[in-house]
Amino acid sequence: MSKKGFIFDLDGVIVDTAKYHFLAWKNLANSIGVDFTEMQNEQLKGVSRADSLNKILAWGNKNISEDVFKALMNRKNDDYLNYIEKMDASEILVDVPRVLDFLNDQAQPIALGSASKNARIILQKVKLLKKFNAIVDGNDVNKAKPDPEVFLIGAQLLNIKPAFCIVFEDSVAGVQAANSAQMISIGIGDKEILNEADYVFKDFSEITNDFLKELLK
């Protein structure tokens, strides 16, 4: 059995924080008079905080100063941090621990590849930090997804060539990032939305240990 690098996105893959990002962006957008729908939210998944705010401002035709931009980013994050304050292991998505434990048992290296600057806090809250051999988050990259930087750094830290890495992603931007890194992309979510991924599963309960073993060949 060969060694592969397994790279997991965080929000919407390991934990169901996507709903809290949505609520915090919706509160912020509405507070500045911009409508915000779940369809639009889909385009913000995997996208950095600054890029997300830029998109919302563009949808609402708003021009603001740099200072106001910073204040809005902080307001969104404070709101988001309030939502996640009481998070615990019960918010880990279905069968994620089984997959992480299976890969650990097979001595496969595992990295986190997230756009979020809150990734470490969240992994600590849900007590999964120790399951990862490397963590790459929004504090470690210069270019946001769909740029492949976050996953390429992950591969480097795991010491595995990109072509031998497998990425789990719930966002279009993240699937595109994995594809441009020449990694295998596994979409978690809707087949229609994630149609650029190599494989798509509704959630980890559909990913069997046999399927994971196939990836190790």
Q: How far apart are CA 130 and CA 133, in angstroms?
A: 8
**To the nearest whole angstrom, how small is the minimum distance from the Cβ of residue 114 to ligand BG6?**
5
Query: 166 with 13: CB under 8 angstroms?
Result: no
**Dihedral sign computed on CA atoms, order 189, 83, 37, 68:** negative
Nearer of residues 116 and 185 to ligand BG6, judged by Cβ: 116
- Which SS3 state, helix, strand or coil, does residue 6 take? strand
**11 counts as binding ligand BG6 under rule CB under 6 A:** yes
**137 counts as binding Mg ion under rule CB under 5 A:** no
Residues 165-194, interacting with ligand BG6 (CB under 6 A): 171
Residues 15-44, interacting with ligand BG6 (CB under 6 A): 21, 44
**9 counts as catalytic:** yes
Nearer of residues 114 and 179 to ligand BG6, judged by Cβ: 114
How far from 72 is each of 18, 23, 68, 84, 198, CA to CA, in Å?
19, 15, 6, 18, 37
**116 counts as binding ligand BG6 under rule CB under 6 A:** yes
**149 counts as binding ligand BG6 under rule CB under 6 A:** no
Total residues at interface with ligand BG6 (CB under 6 A)? 18
Residues near 150 by Cβ (< 8 Å), separated by ≥ 6?
113, 114, 115, 136, 137, 140, 141, 144, 177
Annotated catalytic residue within 9, 51, 137, 190: 9
**To the nearest whole angstrom, how small is the minimum distance from the Cβ of residue 76 to Mg ion?**
16
**Token pair in block for residue 154:** 């992950």
Binding site for ligand BG6 (CB under 6 A): 10-11, 21, 44-49, 52, 77, 114-118, 138, 171
What residues are annotated to the active site? 9, 11
